């Protein structure tokens, strides 16, 4: 482990899904404590890149490093033990389980005491006060925005060194979306390292220091948060 290395370093990653190549020579990095956006239209390859980082869709070329260690192709379980946590697209919560049970599942790779886990759940509820009243309700009975809170909270229970979020604003009402992004901004202020996959450039620009832009499976540019906000009306990223 190299403490001076970026938390995440992706170098020349190429990935296929089935027989179709989706990513071509993608490179990016996220430093400790940074919040970096990955933006682009549908079909740009953003979710496939997240899968290549987390081991869900191993690349056939290139490398993925976490804190300087090569983790290319490691299984998702191994990545969780390295404290890499994913909030997947469309949340992926366990609907038949309670909110509390969903949160506790996020800590499965840790060896934590009951007192530590209780404190971590309390931290999640402080971040998302709306969940307090639903803590023992079935997660499937919650609204989409509340389920997104559960998904983020579950990832935070892993105490991640790297938090990846795939389209956290997708399908949410503006008020709930703003609330959830306010929570992400507070996480960024705490120094949590975040890679945010997002189509909503205006939201991404509010909490990210910089962004990588993807199109047709390639990184086609990088921008600062100010540049990202100004580029929100570009045709190929029109929302």
Q: Is 134 exposed, middle or buried (0-12, 13-18, 19+ CB in 10 A)?
A: buried
User: Which residues make beta-bridge pairs with 30?
Assistant: 8
Nearest-Å Rg of the Cα atoms of the chain is 17
Residue 38 contacts residue 49 (beta carbons within 8 Å): yes
End-to-end CA distance of the chain: 40
Task: List the structure tokens of 47.
Answer: 């979710």
Long-range contacts of 39-42 (CB under 8 A, 24+ apart): 39/197, 39/198, 39/199, 39/201, 39/204, 39/211, 39/212, 39/213, 39/214, 39/228, 39/237, 40/199, 40/213, 40/214, 40/215, 40/237, 41/199, 41/215, 41/236, 41/237, 41/238, 42/199
Which H or E element spans position 116? helix 114-127
Mean of the pLDDT values across residues 223-234? 64
Three-state DSSP class for residue 7? coil
Question: What pLDDT is stored for residue 184 in this prediction?
Answer: 92
Give the model's pLDDT for residue 110: 80
15 touches 52 (CB < 8 A): yes
- C-alpha–C-alpha distance, residues 14 and 109, integer Å: 29
Residue with the larger pLDDT of the pair 231 and 9: 9
Domains and CATH numbers, the chain: 1-83+160-239 (3.40.50.300), 86-159 (no CATH)
pLDDT tens for 94-141 read: 999 999 999 999 998 888 888 999 999 999 999 999 999 999 999 999
**CB neighbours (10 Å) of residue 77?**
10
φ/ψ of residue 28, rounded to 5:
-165, 165
Q: What is the pLDDT of residue 229?
A: 61
**Segment 82-95 mean pLDDT:** 90
Mean predicted confidence (pLDDT) in 22-32: 96
Instruction: Give the residue with greater pLDDT, 5 vs 98.
Output: 98
Per-residue pLDDT at 234: 54
The residue among 14 and 91 whose pLDDT is bigger is 14
Average pLDDT over residues 171-179: 87
């Amino acid at each position: 482990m190299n403490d001076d290395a970026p938390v995440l370093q992706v170098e020349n990653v190429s990935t296929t899904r089935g027989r179709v190549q989706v990513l071509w020579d993608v490179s990016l990095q996220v430093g400790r404590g940074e919040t970096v956006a990955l933006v682009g239209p549908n079909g740009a390859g953003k979710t496939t890149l997240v899968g290549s980082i987390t081991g869900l869709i191993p690349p056939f070329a290139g490398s993925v490093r976490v804190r300087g260690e090569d983790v290319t192709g490691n299984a998702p379980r191994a990545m969780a033990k390295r404290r890499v946590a994913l909030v997947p697209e469309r949340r992926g919560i366990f609907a038949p389980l309670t909110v509390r049970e969903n949160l506790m599942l996020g800590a499965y790779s840790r060896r934590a005491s009951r007192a530590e886990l209780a404190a971590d759940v309390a931290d999640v509820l402080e971040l998302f006060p709306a969940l307090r009243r639903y803590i023992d309700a079935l997660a499937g009975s919650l609204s989409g925005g509340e389920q997104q809170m559960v998904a983020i909270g579950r990832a935070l229970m892993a105490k991640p060194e790297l938090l990846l979020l795939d389209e956290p604003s997708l399908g949410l009402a503006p008020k709930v979306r703003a609330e959830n992004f306010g929570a992400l901004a507070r996480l960024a202020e705490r120094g949590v390292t975040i890679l945010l996959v997002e189509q909503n450039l205006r939201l991404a620009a509010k909490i990210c220091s910089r962004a990588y832009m993807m199109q047709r499976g390639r990184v086609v540019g990088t921008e600062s948060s100010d540049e990202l906000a100004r580029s929100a009306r570009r045709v190929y990223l029109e929302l």
